[in-house]
A and B are shown apart, each in its own frame.
Chain A
Amino acid sequence: MKFGSSFFIAARTLLGRHTKPKADILKRASSAIPRREKALSSSSGGMAGAILGIGISLVPLVLVLIVSDGMIQGITRRYMETKTYHIQVALPDGLSDTESQKGIKAIQSLPGVKAAFLERNGTGVAVSASSSNAVMLRAIDPSFFSNPGTKEFLSVVAGNSIPAGNRDIVIGSSLATALKVKLGDSLTLITPNPEKMASDTVSADFSGYSPRLSFFKVVGIVSAGYRDLDALWAFINPEMGTRLLTYPSSAAFFGVKVTNPYANNLGAVKESIIGQLSSLYPDWFDPYLARTWPEIERSLYKSFGTTKSMLLFIMGIALIIAAVNLGSALSTFVAEHSMEIAVLRSVGATDAALKLIFVGAGLITGSIGTFLGLSLGLFISWNVNYLITGIEWLVTIFNTAIAFAGGYPSVPLKLLDPAYYLEKIPISIDFAQIALIAALSIALSAVASLIPASKASRISVQELIRKI
């Protein structure tokens, strides 16, 4: 028995005829066809259901994979390009600008490194005319704002992104909303003043520091498209940063951007930076001061990864249930085709050949279901933002109509609250993962067909012939 004949039999039995009987012949034949052949096969409906089951179970799996990948990558890239950098190297207190610039140059000369910046950051309180809010103050070299990675994810909402003057401040869009400030408004920053101690005791919660008030003008409002970032940031220029952001209430570090932050050689680039800085700063540099982006935001990415894994696990269970359904449909299929199996056995089909026919039927069913499911899943994933907008629009109309009838105000529906998620889901399709899902789905279908295939191989010719 060759594979070709097994698949030919499986495909034809599953997919049926390619021509339709002529009406007169059908009429003539119907009187002579025995009961068994006239009976409409219920397994054909079952197999169609099995195909549909596999297809439908794959849609959410693909959607979760693509959307979660898109969102995770969307958030992580935002973090990397605008906050954590790809690699950070912590600097000691009091490192002079000259020494820092030597380090920046040394890092930039390394292969795999695209850019390096000196950043000082610390916390403070921003006070506007009507409100106040905690802020993360960041003082970075202006070249950071023109870096392509930064520009991709840090958009200018108003004014400009660079705080050029000492009294210029650029703030995140959500912070601007919270403080109710707009371009040109004044903003007061309260930061710790370590030089003027209120007492001799200095603690980590700032007790013991006297506050320092600094006055700024809002020259720009920026957005990273992610509320966690936009609600905290305030950018000031490096010179002002040196004055306001001092040890121990602030930190200084080199932010490094590499050619490909997702590449496996990120660790190797970190090691080369460690090597370079160890020789440049032999007195104080220690390898633990350098960290890659997954090390910096380990808990955040682990949480993303765990959520994605759980979702995929749940969707995977749906796929397994669909495969079990396929096995059940195939069992019915075997039972309804027992006569054909007996005939094949009588003409010399071996057990292995009969098994192959039904495993082939499982593979064909699984492949069609997988193709349909992946196609639909990819289509929906590609258009998920339109779909969400459409659903929001429809529900809002419905909601408005009910609100109008009830006489109370309507609240527009937001499925993805931009306060907590990205404003738009970035679509990221990893075709290797899609291929893996397809292979897994087809393999599961083949496994699910093993029991019915085994049943088919045990059908006795004699038992069937005696029934007639």
Chain B
Amino acid sequence: MNEQVGMPIIVCKDLVKNFESQAETLHVLKSVDLELAPGCSCSIMGSSGSGKSTLLSILGGLEHFDSGEVTVGNYALHKLAEKALPQFRSKVVGFVFQFHYLLKDFTAIENVALPAYMMGVPRKEAWAKAENLLEKVGMSDRMDHFPSELSGGERQRTAIARALINDPSVVLADEPTGNLDTANAMAVEELIYGLPSLSGATIVLATHDSALAEAADRRFMLFNGKLSAT
């Protein structure tokens, strides 16, 4: 386990998130507290619908929350204006979803380079960086293939490279092996836990897979809207 030294990269204090429906109010997150140091890996387990994805979405600035304080990097999300969220998402966090969500009309290298290119990185530079990352995730000979030409594991590796293209300080992975067979899941697991050494990013992983969760520096269980260390 890594030592938590210096300022934490993620801080959640008394985080509350409810979902309102016509019939009832669903209390998904009830006073969640979390502090993570830079470069560590953390897994969150919990049953389906326990709020794991919601917590990751809040940390990634994709979801609003009802109360509490959330700080990721230098961004205090509870104070952050809506307009500043895209910049936060592009600069601070990288997402890896259960399904790869690669753009089907773009090659692997284009999929990886696009987030940087969209942020104004010159095309050549963005492509060179994408090439470097794809090499690191073992995709050097599949760069010019489209998602439909890649296996499930290859797509997820491409998605991981895409998450790292803007040098995020936090990588949020939501069930990254949930859609893969055992062999591919193991390869992706190795890659994900190698990310801190690969890019220095902090990993927050939501998973049902206990083996994947066990390998994290810090492990949490989300149950009944509360987060507890295991």
Q: Is the CB of A5 within 8 A of B118?
A: yes
Given the complex, which residues of B lie within 8 Å of A32, measured CB to CB? Answer: 151-152
Q: B-facing mask of A1-24, CB < 8 A → 1, else 0?
A: 110111011001100110101100
The chain A residue sitting closest to B147, CB to CB, is A37
Which B residues, 65 to 114, have Cβ-Cβ distances below 8 Å to chain A?
Answer: 83, 86-87, 89-91, 94-95, 97-99, 101-106, 110, 114
Which residues in A have their C-beta under 8 angstroms from that of B62?
Answer: 346, 461-462, 465
Identify which of A5, A8, A22, A339 contacts B101 (C-beta below 8 A): A339
The minimal Cβ–Cβ distance linking B95 to chain A, given in whole angstroms, is 5
Q: How many Å lie between the Cα of A406 and that of B147 in the bound state?
A: 66
- CB-CB under 8 A for A1 and B60, given A17-B105, A22-B149, A340-B103: no
Subset of 30 A-B contacts with CB under 8 Å: A2-B117, A4-B123, A5-B117, A12-B105, A12-B110, A13-B105, A17-B146, A21-B145, A21-B146, A21-B148, A25-B148, A25-B149, A26-B148, A26-B149, A29-B150, A29-B151, A33-B147, A33-B148, A34-B179, A339-B101, A343-B102, A344-B118, A346-B101, A347-B89, A347-B94, A348-B89, A350-B86, A461-B57, A465-B97, A468-B99
Contact of B89 among A17, A22, A25, A346 (CB under 8 A): A346
For the complex, is A349 an interface residue (Cβ under 8 Å from B)?
yes
Residues from chain B with a CB closer than 8 A to the CB of A21 are 145-146, 148-149
Once bound together, how far apart are the Cα atoms of A37 and B148, in whole Å? 8
The distance in angstroms between the C-alpha atoms of A2 and B166, with both chains bound, is 16
B166 proximity list for chain A (CB < 8 A): 347-348
Chain B residue total in the interface (Cβ 8 A): 43
Interface centre among B86, B94, B151, B179 (most CB of A within 10 A): B86
10 smallest CB-CB distances across A and B, nearest first, come from A348-B90, A347-B115, A350-B86, A25-B149, A348-B89, A343-B101, A5-B117, A21-B149, A5-B118, A32-B152
Within 8 A of A (CB), among B18-61: 53, 57, 60
Chain B residues near A37 (CB-CB < 8 A): 104, 147-148
Interface centre among B63, B94, B148 (most CB of A within 10 A): B148
- Those of A446-468 within 8 Å (CB) of chain B: 461-462, 465-466, 468
- B56: nearest chain-A partner, CB-CB: A465
Q: Which B residue sits closest to A24, measured CB to CB?
A: B149
B217 to chain A minimum Cβ distance, whole angstroms, is: 25
> CA–CA, A398 to B62, complex, Å?
69
B162 within 8 Å of A (CB atoms): yes
> Is B120 at the interface (CB under 8 A from chain A)?
yes
**A353: interface (CB < 8 Å):** yes
Residue of B nearest to A36 (CB): B99
B198 within 8 A of A: no
* Cβ distance A343 to chain B, nearest Cβ, rounded Å: 5
- Quick one: given A12-B106, A468-B99, are A348 and B91 in contact (CB under 8 Å)? yes
B148 touches A1 (CB 8 A): no
Q: A339-B101, A346-B89 are in contact. Are A353 and B95 (CB under 8 A)?
A: no
Select B118's contact among A22, A28, A347, beta carbons within 8 Å: A347
Q: Could you tell me the distance between the alpha carbons of A466 and B149 in the complex, rounded to whole angstroms?
A: 26
Interface residues of A in 125-150 (CB under 8 A from B): none
Question: Do A5 and B57 touch (CB < 8 A)?
Answer: no
CB distance from A21 to the nearest CB of B (A): 5
We find that the number of chain A residues with CB closer than 8 angstroms to chain B is: 41
Closest to B53 in A: A465
The residue among A21, A26, A466 with the most chain B CB atoms within 10 A of its own CB is: A21
Pair A347/B97 contact, Cβ less than 8 Å: no
Counting CB contacts under 8 A, is B128 at the interface? no
Q: How far is the CA of A30 from the CA of B152 in the complex (A)?
A: 11
Check: B7 CB closer than 8 A to any chain A CB: no
Q: Are A462 and B57 in contact (CB under 8 A)?
A: yes
- Cβ of A28 and Cβ of B151 under 8 Å apart? yes
Q: Scan B146-162; emit 1 where CB is below 8 A from any A CB, else 0.
A: 11111110000000001
A26 CA / B91 CA spacing, docked (Å): 35
With CB as the reference atom, state the residue of chain A lying closest to B153: A32
Q: What are the residues of chain A within 8 A of B94 when measuring CB–CB? A: 347
List the B side residues contacting A16 at CB < 8 Å: 105
Asked whether A1 lies within 8 Å of B123 as measured between CB atoms, the reply is no
Q: Specify which chain B residues have a CB less than 8 angstroms from the CB of A25 in the assembled complex.
A: 145, 148-150
Taken residue by residue from 341 to 379, chain A's Cβ proximity to chain B (1 for < 8 Å, 0 otherwise) reads as 011111111110100000000000000000000000000
Instruction: Using A37-B104, A468-B99 as known contacts, say yes or no to A29 and B148 having CB atoms under 8 A apart.
Output: yes
Residues of B with C-beta under 8 A to A340: 103-104
CB neighbours of B147 from chain A (8 A): 33, 37
Nearest CB of A to B51, in Å: 12
List A306-349 residues whose CB lies under 8 Å from chain B: 339-340, 342-349
* Residue of A whose beta carbon sits closest to that of B60: A346
State the Cβ distance, A321 to closest chain B Cβ, in Å.
29
